[in-house]
Amino acid sequence: MEPKQCTKNQKSWLESESGDWVKQGIIRAEQQAQILNRYSTSHVDSFYSSWSSLLLISLGAILIGGGIILLVAHNWESFGKGTRTVLSILPLIVAQALAWYSVRYKPQLTGLREAAGTLLFFATAASIALISQTYHIYGDLERFLVTWLVLGIPILYLIGSAGVLILVCALILWLCGLEREPYWLYYLLLAPYLYGLYKQQRYVLFQWALWFVIIGSTFSIIYSVSWKSPIDDWMIYILLALSVLYYSLGKWLFGFKSHGFWGNPFSSAGALGIASISLMLTWEGFYRYSHLDSESKFVFNDYLILLVFAISVLATIGFIILKFKRLGINQWALITSMLLAILGVIGIPIKLPELVYITLTNLYVLIASVVIMSQGINQHRLMLLNAGLLWFSFLVLFRFFDSDIPFVLKGIVFIFIGSAFLGVNIWYNRKLKRDVSAQQEEAA
């Protein structure tokens, strides 16, 4: 069996504790050795021991690379075409030589590999930029960035540097924000690499990259169909479905244990998306206009986003089937929002009235937020409790200021829900007291 990775602190804690157990006769010495063999710090050592120096090297390489770009951008027009052509190829050749030396002769030096990869990444850009400048080649920023990206992604696979991974992720993010094209598909090219990181348990880098992937993809998907597209009005439901997919994917990948907000990017982003979009849907207006615009032309992008929607729905169903037994009530509370997304899309054709849809969304947020609060209390997880509370408070705030509902109705509903809260609280306290006194009687 492959040993599990842990940090040095965790390992030394385990060593001292298990040493105590041996002394106290709970386990034997060979059992202690067996247990300790199940945990290794090798990957983590190789990654973390040089973590700070790695960071410095990456930053250094990025600064040098940026410096080269700036020197190029200055435009040395007095040099003449020939000199400038030689100059534009030169940094590329130097960086390639360094990369070759690192991969061929010193593959064990992580720092050198980081520096070589990052420099090579910048050198490719610098050479293209300088040639473009010398010859006044038009070609917009978009084409330049795409060429850079396509030449840069192989560097990641062949040299494998953390700096290049982050730079590539950032470059794709930039493209996603620049143009209404489905540039987020480039993130798929990173999937094998990210999977490798996951397998090697290099989680810090993995999580960083995932945040980029999530932000870039989501932004790109919104941007690409937010205007002049036939599925423009479905965007909010597609995003809701995508959020549910993110949430499920996170639980699938990282397991059901809590990893904190930054530790599980998919679930955190998904939960955030579900909470905010469901709150938006509690308002009037979104649903009313949520039909397809049959006059606009469907292009590749629109089909792609519809495919994303279909995959989100199917993958969530798959997740529910596979993990049915492990799903807790708070997970159900979030995943059921997928029904709101589906209803939003099919609601108009099946003639579901707006009032019904809005009532359903309001009820959903009310119930789901209360469920999450109660789970936070039961499991003693403060973050869960606060999240539920925040979600609930926003719903209350929105409805209090909602001018479309008559004051009297609002008043009655508020008083009713408030009394329900107080009632449940009093009942719960009494139950607690009864349980305590019952326990005391038993003890006596």
Partner 1 sequence: MKPTLILLVVLFAIQLAVPGYMIFEQNQILTEGTAYKFKTRPIDPYDPFRGRYVTLSYAADQEVVPVMEGAEIESEDWVYALVGVDDEGYAVLEVLTDVKPEDDQDYLYLETFYRRYDGGYLVSLPFDRYFASEENAPKIESAVWRRQRDEVEDVYAKVRVYKGKGTIEELMINDMPIKEYIEIQQEQL
Residue 341 CA from chain centroid, whole number: 20
- Is 289 a binding residue for partner 1 by CB under 8 A? The answer is no
Write each residue from 93 to 132 as x if it is in contact with partner 1 (CB under 8 A), else as -, in one continuous string.
x--x--xx--xx---------------x---xx-xxxxxx
- Is 136 a binding residue for partner 1 by CB under 8 A? The answer is yes
> What is the DSSP annotation of 2-40?
PPEE--HHHHHHHHHHHHHHHHTTSS-HHHHHHHHHTEE
| Choice from 5, 58, 88, 369 touching partner 1 (CB under 8 A) | 88
Specify the stretch interacting with partner 1 by CB under 8 A; choose among 73-81, 279-287, 315-323, 401-409. Answer: 73-81
Nearest-approach distance from CB 255 to partner 1, in angstroms:
33
Nearest-approach distance from CB 112 to partner 1, in angstroms:
15
Pairwise CA distance, residues 321 & 397, whole Å: 36
Pairwise CA distance, residues 129 & 124, whole Å: 9
| Choice from 1, 25, 74, 407 touching partner 1 (CB under 8 A) | 74
Specify the stretch interacting with partner 1 by CB under 8 A; choose among 134-142, 206-214, 335-343, 422-430. Answer: 134-142
Instruction: Give the residue carrying structure tokens 């955030």.
Output: 272
Specify the stretch interacting with partner 1 by CB under 8 A; choose among 24-32, 57-65, 149-157, 277-285. Answer: 149-157
User: For residue 45, which of 79, 72, 7 has the smallest C-alpha distance?
Assistant: 7
Residue 92 or 274 with smaller CB distance to partner 1: 92
User: For residue 155, which of 146, 164, 163 has the smallest C-alpha distance?
Assistant: 164
Specify the stretch interacting with partner 1 by CB under 8 A; choose among 139-147, 215-223, 317-325, 349-357. Answer: 139-147
Residue 63 or 322 with smaller CB distance to partner 1: 63
Residue 88 or 362 with smaller CB distance to partner 1: 88
> What is the DSSP annotation of 58-123?
HHHHHHHHHHHHHHHHH--GGGHHHHHHHHHHHHHHHHHHHHHHHHHH-TT-HHHHHHHHHHHHHH
Nearest-approach distance from CB 175 to partner 1, in angstroms:
14
Pairwise CA distance, residues 66 & 63, whole Å: 5
Residue 331 CA from chain centroid, whole number: 17
Residues 163-176, buried b or exposed e (16+ Cβ, 10 A)? bbbbbbbebbbebb
| Choice from 14, 36, 69, 109 touching partner 1 (CB under 8 A) | 69
What the block records as the tokens of 13 is 């804690």
- Is 158 a binding residue for partner 1 by CB under 8 A? The answer is yes
Chain contacts with partner 1 (rule: CB under 8 A)? 69, 72-77, 85, 88-89, 92-93, 96, 99-100, 103-104, 120, 124-125, 127-138, 141, 144, 147, 151, 154-155, 158-159
